[in-house]
Amino acid sequence: MPVSEKTAGRTSYSVACRNEWQSGIGQKPRVKCGECSHRSYKMVDHAVLRNHLTGRITVGIYPLLQGDRCWFLAADFDKSDWRASVAVFRKACNDAEIACTVEISRSGNGAHAWIFFDSPVLAVQARSLGFTMLDKAMERYPQLSFESYERLFPNQDTMPAGGFGNLIALPLQHAPRAHGYSVFVDQTFTPYDDQWGYLSIIQPRPATLLGPLLIQLDYDTKASTSFALDDDRPWETGLPVSNSPVVGCPEHVTLDHSEPGICTGPDLTLSTDCAT
């Protein structure tokens, strides 16, 4: 699992390579890291984690492994309704007896919901679980827009050619921690006093039970095929569109925008295209 580092004073991540700044060896930016014959990636070890926790560097990791597997799934939420969306996503996971761990993002304006596995699982299955939990949450709370949902990590089912997939920053970053950010929180979004103690009691999901769990949750593999390999939100994925008139529909429908807590405004009347 290669890592990227963001050192103090820099605004972007770069893949952590031992040969990056070796004269005559590193070939950036002429050659991409994934295509460089001299690449020697740093892996996550105690020294890397210590530097991350003490603020010398900020570390991000690429969840997608060779063989298209991953150790965890993380759902990213931000924007205005992130607290409500994260809360119901977490509840959907809890209802399915899936341990979901919530971390406030480094900005304080969003969160990551993490699901850990006890051994690497196929990324397509991990992402299927994420989409299923989103579907369950939306079914139970249709009044929420889930506009705050951004993406899943890993963000791909398969390793892209010459790349690593998408990066996610590790939690417990030194500077944000002082403000109560980049830490794990309870159901009321209050940080746990003992972060290490909390992490030590999390029960990773058994990898061998992921397939049966998806069947139990009635995950529709065929319905998910259209968005399994891209970054679209499930409900924004383009579905087959027919231009044929709809048989038996009313000539007019009324949209009521007066639901408390959602939006306010006058009712709208729309015309429909019905078969004659």
pLDDT of residue 237: 42
Tokens, residue 162: 């010459």
| 213 compared with 276, residue with greater pLDDT | 213
| 103 compared with 42, residue with greater pLDDT | 103
pLDDT band at 143 (very low <50, low <70, confident <90, very high): confident
| 162 compared with 76, residue with greater pLDDT | 76
pLDDT of residue 31: 64
Read off the amino acid at residue 155: N
Query: What backbone torsions phi and psi does residue 130 show, to the nearest 5 degrees?
Result: -60, -45
Q: Average pLDDT for residues 94-107, to the nearest whole number?
A: 95
The pTM of the whole model exceeds 0.75 = no
Question: Is 90 exceeded by the pLDDT of residue 92?
Answer: yes
pLDDT of residue 248: 61
pLDDT of residue 155: 94
pLDDT of residue 68: 96
Tokens, residue 194: 């003992």
Give the strands of the sheet with 69-78, arranged side by side: 149-153, 69-78, 110-122, 101-104, 184-185
Per residue in 199-247, pLDDT tens?
A: 999 999 999 999 999 999 886 544 443 334 444 444 444 444 455 565 5
Rounded distance, CA 248 to CA 237, Å? Answer: 27
| 123 compared with 275, residue with greater pLDDT | 123
Rounded distance, CA 16 to CA 60, Å? Answer: 10
Q: What's the whole-number average pLDDT of the chain?
A: 79
pLDDT of residue 246: 56
pLDDT band at 260 (very low <50, low <70, confident <90, very high): very low
pLDDT of residue 188: 96
pLDDT band at 256 (very low <50, low <70, confident <90, very high): low
pLDDT of residue 209: 93
Query: What backbone torsions phi and psi does residue 197 show, to the nearest 5 degrees?
Result: -65, -40
pLDDT of residue 80: 83
pLDDT band at 269 (very low <50, low <70, confident <90, very high): very low
Question: Is 80 exceeded by the pLDDT of residue 23?
Answer: no
Q: Average pLDDT for residues 57-77, to the nearest whole number?
A: 94
Rounded distance, CA 240 to CA 250, Å? Answer: 23
Domains and CATH numbers, the chain: 1-61 (no CATH), 65-230 (3.30.70), 243-276 (no CATH)
